[in-house]
């Protein structure tokens, strides 16, 4: 008689994972930060008598207790499960939410550590997808080893999901660093001197000045700051006028004042650059780029090379004089702003032109860079770049003459400068197109180069304004996913026949590549 065979036993499902036991504390601190100003105002201006002060303190304690309870409930109700090809996240206190996030859909992974995270040995993990305005999942907080292991898992599964013999293996990955991964190759590393140079060549100090000015209106009564500045200014100028200084003394004082403010801005820019770019390192592992930087708050963000949509080289006049430029990218993950560090945008915040070119050639092996020949535009259309100034400046000058007299005509001095700048800019405008990528360049005082692979183009558009129709010209707009920044991938001021030829060539190239 045939022997009975036992049916195969299905592997046990992987258990749901919880956040770090201290995650409720970080959630509470994040929520408390949002209520910090109202609580301070309540404590300072809440009451004057003994009874009022008692109710003020009691209200503050109730608010803090509610925040603690909400944070603990969020910790108790947050679960995530690592499957074969996706991460499942369950959250919510009253309304229960469940999100399935396929590994292939995760475009960007951010590991964030502020000083408190580093003190507790934990990190915040954000999983971001294409075009989203918010992360797909925010895990506050995980052990640092777990966060890095989960980042490694996303990197591996995002390339090609491997079969799992046991569902519990996915959870085990979070508790042991992978040993089969190839070591990361360092593509760019910035030292303290490079970070110092970033601060000296940038104007980030204005960010701190404007932030301090805005904060003063939050902490002080309305008009207090402006009245104080006006009052002390009158005292200083009144005291100085009684001394009857010579004209050259006023000039020297003005120079020292402007110079001191400029030095203050440079100092603030250097401090902000150190906070953001200290220890900057760009690495590559398994065709995924990772940037790690930050002095107090460490940020580790990564993106797959295939997710990069466009590349931008940019150099200001100051950067060009010291032989430096920056390399930025647009990726398909649209989360975060340009300056918050959450979205990987800067591959090289500041590097030599040769280093930036080497990075481009390494990451885009088929790229011929710099292009062998740029296709320029007709220089006779230079006046179109300064057309707003040609219309607005004379009108402003006429109004200024009526207000202040002949000195108002000084505004007309802007027209020669605008015309000179426009002529220089149109001399640098150009584009390059081959079977693999398209590149555009422009700018004069601040120069830029922008390029994209033909595979990454999402749409093509031929644009003709009324002025274009009068002059027989057109512009070709090239759109990619996640496009951002102030520089558009656009071919401007082309003859109509040339623009339509470029559009036809791009359409044919895209059609051929889609059939492969």
**pLDDT tens for each residue of 266-315:** 999 999 999 999 999 999 988 889 999 999 999 998 888 888 889 999 99
Same domain, 410 and 482: no
- Burial environment of residue 255 by CB neighbours within 10 A (0 to 12, 13 to 18, 19 or more): exposed
- Residue 459's pLDDT band, with cuts at 50, 70 and 90, is confident
Same domain, 42 and 129: yes
Q: How many domains does the chain contain in total?
A: 4
Same domain, 469 and 373: yes
Same domain, 40 and 150: yes
* Residue 83 confidence (pLDDT): 84
Same domain, 361 and 388: no
Per-residue pLDDT tens for 89-145? Answer: 888 777 778 888 888 888 788 899 999 899 889 999 988 876 556 778 888 889 998
For residues 249-259, average pLDDT? 82
Q: Using alpha carbons, list the distances in angstroms from residue 89 to 85, 287, 289, 469.
A: 13, 27, 26, 54
Residue 196 lies in a domain: no
- Residue 37's pLDDT band, with cuts at 50, 70 and 90, is low
Helical packing angle, 414-428 and 387-404, nearest 10°: 170
* Residue 22 confidence (pLDDT): 86
Token pair recorded at residue 384: 């179109």
For residues 197-222, average pLDDT? 77
* Of the candidate ranges 74-78, 192-196, 333-337, the one whose mean pLDDT is the lowest: 333-337
* Residue 400 confidence (pLDDT): 87
Residue 466 lies in a domain: yes
Domain of residue 156 covers 23-180
Same domain, 406 and 475: no
**Which helix (H) or strand (E) element contains residue 170?**
helix 168-173
Percent of all residues in the chain with a pLDDT value above 90, rounded to a whole number: 34
Token pair recorded at residue 483: 């496009």
* Residue 418 confidence (pLDDT): 93
Token pair recorded at residue 164: 């799992």
Per-residue pLDDT tens for 474-487? Answer: 999 998 876 665 67
Same domain, 300 and 420: no
* Residue 244 confidence (pLDDT): 65
Same domain, 344 and 452: yes
pLDDT at 355 over 80: yes
Positive or negative torsion for Cα 141, 146, 151, 156 = negative
Residue 187 lies in a domain: no
* Residue 166 confidence (pLDDT): 45
Same domain, 337 and 446: yes
- Residue 45's pLDDT band, with cuts at 50, 70 and 90, is low
Token pair recorded at residue 315: 């150099």
Same domain, 247 and 395: no
Percent of all residues in the chain with a pLDDT value above 70, rounded to a whole number: 77
Q: Which of 254, 276, 298 is the last residue of a domain?
A: 276
Same domain, 154 and 107: yes
Same domain, 260 and 353: no
Residue 192 lies in a domain: no
* Residue 212 confidence (pLDDT): 75
From its phi and psi, is residue 244 left (phi > 0), alpha (psi between -120 and 50) or beta? left
Residue 9 lies in a domain: no
Q: Which of 226, 241, 276 is the last residue of a domain?
A: 276
């Amino acid at each position: 008689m045939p022997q009975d065979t036992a049916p195969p036993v299905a592997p046990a499902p992987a258990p749901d994972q919880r956040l770090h036991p201290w995650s409720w504390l970080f959630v509470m601190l994040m929520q408390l930060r949002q209520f910090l100003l109202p609580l301070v105002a309540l404590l300072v201006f809440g009451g004057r008598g003994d009874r009022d002060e008692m109710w003020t303190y009691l209200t503050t304690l109730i608010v803090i207790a509610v925040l603690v309870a909400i944070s603990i409930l969020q910790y108790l109700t947050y679960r995530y499960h690592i499957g074969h090809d996706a991460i499942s996240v369950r959250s919510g206190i009253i309304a229960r939410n469940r999100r399935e996030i396929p590994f292939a859909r995760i475009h960007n992974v951010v590991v964030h550590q502020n000083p408190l995270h580093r003190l507790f040995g934990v990190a915040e993990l954000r999983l971001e997808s294409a075009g989203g305005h918010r992360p797909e999942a925010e895990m506050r907080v995980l052990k640092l080893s777990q966060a890095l292991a989960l980042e490694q898992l996303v990197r591996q599964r995002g390339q090609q999901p491997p079969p799992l013999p046991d569902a519990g293996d996915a959870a085990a990955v979070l508790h042991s660093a992978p040993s089969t991964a190839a070591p990361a190759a360092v593509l760019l590393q910035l030292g303290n001197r490079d970070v110092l140079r970033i601060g000296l060549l940038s104007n980030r100090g204005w960010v701190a000045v404007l932030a301090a000015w805005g904060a003063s209106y939050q902490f002080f009564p309305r008009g207090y700051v402006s009245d104080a500045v006006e009052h002390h200014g009158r005292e200083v100028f009144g005291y100085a006028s009684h001394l009857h200084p010579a004209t050259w003394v006023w000039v020297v004082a003005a120079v020292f004042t402007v110079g001191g403010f400029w030095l203050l801005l440079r100092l603030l820019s250097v401090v902000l650059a150190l906070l953001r770019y200290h220890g900057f390192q760009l690495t590559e592992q398994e065709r995924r780029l990772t940037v790690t930087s930050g002095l107090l708050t460490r940020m580790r963000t990564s993106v797959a090379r295939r997710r990069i949509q466009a590349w931008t080289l940019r150099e200001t006049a100051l950067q060009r004089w010291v032989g430096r430029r920056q390399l930025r990218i647009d990726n398909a993950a649209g989360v975060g702003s340009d300056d918050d560090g959450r979205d990987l945008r800067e591959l090289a915040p500041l590097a030599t032109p040769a280093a930036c070119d080497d990075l481009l050639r390494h990451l885009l092996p088929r790229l011929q860079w710099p292009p062998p020949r740029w296709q320029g535009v007709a220089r006779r259309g230079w006046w179109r770049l300064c057309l707003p100034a040609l219309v607005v400046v004379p009108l402003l000058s006429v109004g200024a003459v009526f207000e202040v007299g002949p000195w108002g005509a000084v505004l007309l001095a802007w027209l020669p400068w605008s015309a000179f700048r426009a002529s220089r800019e149109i001399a640098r405008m150009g584009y390059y197109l081959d079977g693999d990528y398209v590149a555009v360049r422009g700018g004069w005082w601040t120069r830029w180069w922008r390029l994209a692979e033909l595979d990454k183009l999402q749409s093509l558009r031929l644009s003709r304004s009324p002025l274009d129709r009068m002059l027989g010209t057109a512009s070709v707009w090239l759109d990619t996913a996640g496009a951002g920044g102030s520089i558009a991938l656009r071919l401007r001021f082309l003859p109509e026949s040339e623009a339509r030829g470029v559009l036809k060539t791009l359409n044919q190239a895209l059609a051929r590549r889609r059939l492969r």
